[in-house]
Amino acid sequence: MPENKPNEERVLLPAPKEPEKAKEAAKVPERIEKVFAGIDKNFTKHIAKVQEFLKQSSVSAEKEGIIETALMVKGMIESIGGKATFHGSDDFPIVFGQLDLGKPKTLLIYGMYDVQPADEKTWKSPPFSAEIRETSQHGKCIFARGAVNSKGSLASLFNALKEMKANDDIPVNLKFTIEGEEELGSPHFAAFVEKHKEELRADACVDFDFAQDTDQKVTMQLGVKGIITFDIVCKGGRVGGPAEKEVHSSDSAWISSPAWRMVQFLSTLVDKKEKVLIDGFYDNVIPPSKEDMELLDKLAKTFDENMILREVKSLRFKYDSHGADLLQKYLYLPTLNITGVSSGYTGPGQKSVLPSKARAKMEIRLVPNQKHEEILEKFRKHIAKHGFDEIEMEDIFAYPWSKTPVSSRIVHEMIDAYRILGREPEIWPLGAWSAPYYVFSNLLNLPFVRGGLGSGDGEHSANEFCTIEGIKDFEKFVVVFLNEFAGKK
């Protein structure tokens, strides 16, 4: 088995030269054509397998269906001849699988099988019915929680692997780390990786996912931001306000309000342009490298600002910037966001109360080279500096950013896979979202990429879907990429 050595794993190549437009799909070898033919022949069965997986709920926030789904994932690994075991939390198993075929190269595959709650009232069909409907824009689609994030692609991955196995054509050894609490922040994943470094040795790591937008453009991010989430709670008592429970609102004439104190504190965190006012917050933020700036300049030529505004239903960006400058702010500036605020009565009508506490849920996105320990300490100092000693921080969770150089070999192998299938990827040096990819790049010292064909929309919201045609494209992409990774032409 390979060792995770930086001088062997991070093979640096010249940055890829992007043609002006994608070429037509290249001719693939006959053995790959046979796998493609199998995918086409059995595609109705493949869709049924995806539906079966999506029909099994796996809402980690509610501990709903997690064990049942983990057993399904274990069965998928075993169906291609691999071995699988449970690790991590008993309630949220990490499914670790191995398929050792005695091949020269080993690929570690990351995935997730949990989903967000699906309690929105605007679903047009039950969120775990995996109903197929014809749409005017995207053709036939599967509508289900997890369709695009990310159970649809996980089930499709194993469809592709089973077709490759049927043709005796899986060209690499495979290892799997499929977790069931990604939507909770992956609290047990890093410890699992630390404990099993030896078993997780590989040449590289990939997260196969639907990476096309609804206009079929392929996006490829080479990293993700880090994240910190926590609650801040302002309680009555020490500096005034009801100490134990809410009281009648008439008492606000002489008793102070924790809700107002929370509002006052929140107003100290940012200015009117939402620039963070915490001392030293932007320390250690590094600008894009030369090669990243080249990628941003290329991105600016194809980046559709209006499409982004349409997707998020906004009339404007908060910056008066455009092109590469706007992209740089989006990707290379840290953010401080309020994800929710609660206090007192929030039901219909009015209720005359003075709340005893107020709570705000906070989120910070970190960029290279920020460290979450330093940012948390600066936040605590900000609380003290402004005299809000009654505010406490709770439920803190954090993990770092992660990044793979564009010159890494596995990046080129993924780009080549896209181009063989006639797609030209739009390469982003970083993603503004967050995922626990740091465990691979930092703890295992593995080059990491995420990608795949296929598209959908609506993750974390009602009427989430993935396209039927995208599933077939995704399965064929898996086949081509694994052969590129193996070096088989």
pLDDT surpasses 50 at 9: no
Ordered alpha helix ranges (H), 312-455: 323-332, 372-385, 409-420, 438
Q: What is the mean pLDDT of residues 186-207?
A: 96
Torsion of Cα atoms, 148 then 210 then 305 then 144, to 10°? -10
Give the closest residue to 360 by CA, choosing from 383, 329, 387.
Answer: 383
Residues linked to residue 141 through DSSP beta bridges, in sequence order: 133, 467
Stretch 67-74: mean pLDDT: 98
432, exposed or middle or buried, with CB in 10 Å at 0-12, 13-18, 19+? middle
Domains, the chain, ordered by start: 11-222+404-486 (3.40.630.10), 225-285+333-399 (3.30.70.360)
Cα separation, 436 vs 179, in Å, equals 11
Please write the tens of the pLDDT for every residue from 280-329: 999 999 999 999 999 999 999 988 899 889 888 999 999 999 999 999 99
Of 293, 302, 348, 356, the closest CA to residue 325 belongs to 293
pLDDT at 12 over 50: no
**Cα gap 342→233, rounded to integer Å:** 10
CA distance linking residue 185 with residue 61, whole number of Å: 11
Cis omega before residue 445 (within 30°)? no
The pLDDT value recorded for residue 300 is 93
Pick from 11-20, 23-32, 342-351: least confident: 11-20
Q: Give the start-end residues of each E strand in 139-250.
A: 139-143, 173-179, 204-208, 219-221, 223-235, 247-248
Encode pLDDT of 415-443 as tens digits: 999 999 999 999 999 999 998 899 999 99
Q: Is the pLDDT of residue 349 over 70?
A: yes
Whether 446 and 240 have beta carbons less than 8 Å apart is answered as no
Q: How many helices (H) and strands (E) does the chain have?
A: 14, 20
Over residues 231-240, mean pLDDT:
92
Q: Is the pLDDT of residue 404 over 50?
A: yes
Which helix (DSSP H) or strand (DSSP E) does residue 182 occupy? none
Are the C-beta atoms of 440 and 446 separated by less than 8 Å? yes
The partner residues of 208 in beta bridges, in order of sequence, read 451
- Eight-class DSSP state of 390: T
Position 479 pLDDT exceeds 80: yes
Over 90: is that where the pLDDT of 144 sits? Answer: yes
DSSP, collapsed to helix, strand or coil, labels residue 223 as: strand
C-beta of residue 73 within 8 angstroms of C-beta of residue 154:
yes
Smallest CA-to-CA distance from 210 within 197, 224, 220 is with: 220
- Give the range among 195-209, 282-296, 301-315, 372-386 with minimum mean pLDDT: 301-315
- The continuous run of DSSP H or E covering 75 comes out as helix 66-79
Q: Any residues with CB less than 8 A from the CB of 410 and at least 6 apart, and which?
A: 204, 206, 404, 447, 448, 449, 485
Q: Which of 202, 204, 200, 265 is nearest to 232 (CA)?
A: 265
Query: Within 10 A of 37 (CB to CB), how many other CB atoms are there?
Result: 12
Instruction: Flag whether the pTM goes above 0.95.
Output: no
pLDDT value at position 11?
41
Residue 263 burial (CB < 10 Å; 0-12/13-18/19+)? middle
358 strand-pairing partners: 234, 343
What the block records as the tokens of 172 is 């690499």
Beta bridge partners of 391: 234
Using alpha carbons only, what angle is made at residue 484 by residues 483 and 486, rounded to the nearest 5 degrees? 65
Between 344 and 302, where is the model more confident? 344
Percent of the chain having pLDDT more than 70? 95
Token pair in block for residue 132:
């197929």
CB burial of residue 139 (10 Å; 0-12, 13-18, 19+): exposed
Is the pLDDT assigned to residue 19 strictly greater than 50? no
- Residue 97: which of 150, 164, 11, 157 has the closest Cα? 157
DSSP track, 226-285:
EEEEEEEEEESBBTBS-SSS-EEGGGGGTS--HHHHHHHHHTTTB-TT--B-STTTTTT-
- Residue 28's CB is within 10 A of a number of other CB atoms, namely 17
pLDDT at 5: 41
Q: Where are the alpha helices (DSSP H) in 365-461?
A: 372-385, 409-420, 438
**Closest by CA position to 262, among listed 224, 301, 235, 229:** 235
Average pLDDT score over residue span 123-144: 97
**pLDDT at 339 (0 to 100):** 96
d(C-alpha 263, C-alpha 236), whole Å: 14
Q: Is the pLDDT of residue 2 over 70?
A: no
Please determine, for residue 486, whether its predicted confidence score (pLDDT) is greater than 60. Answer: yes
Q: Average the pLDDT over each of 23-32, 330-339, 462-471 and give the range with the smallest value.
A: 23-32
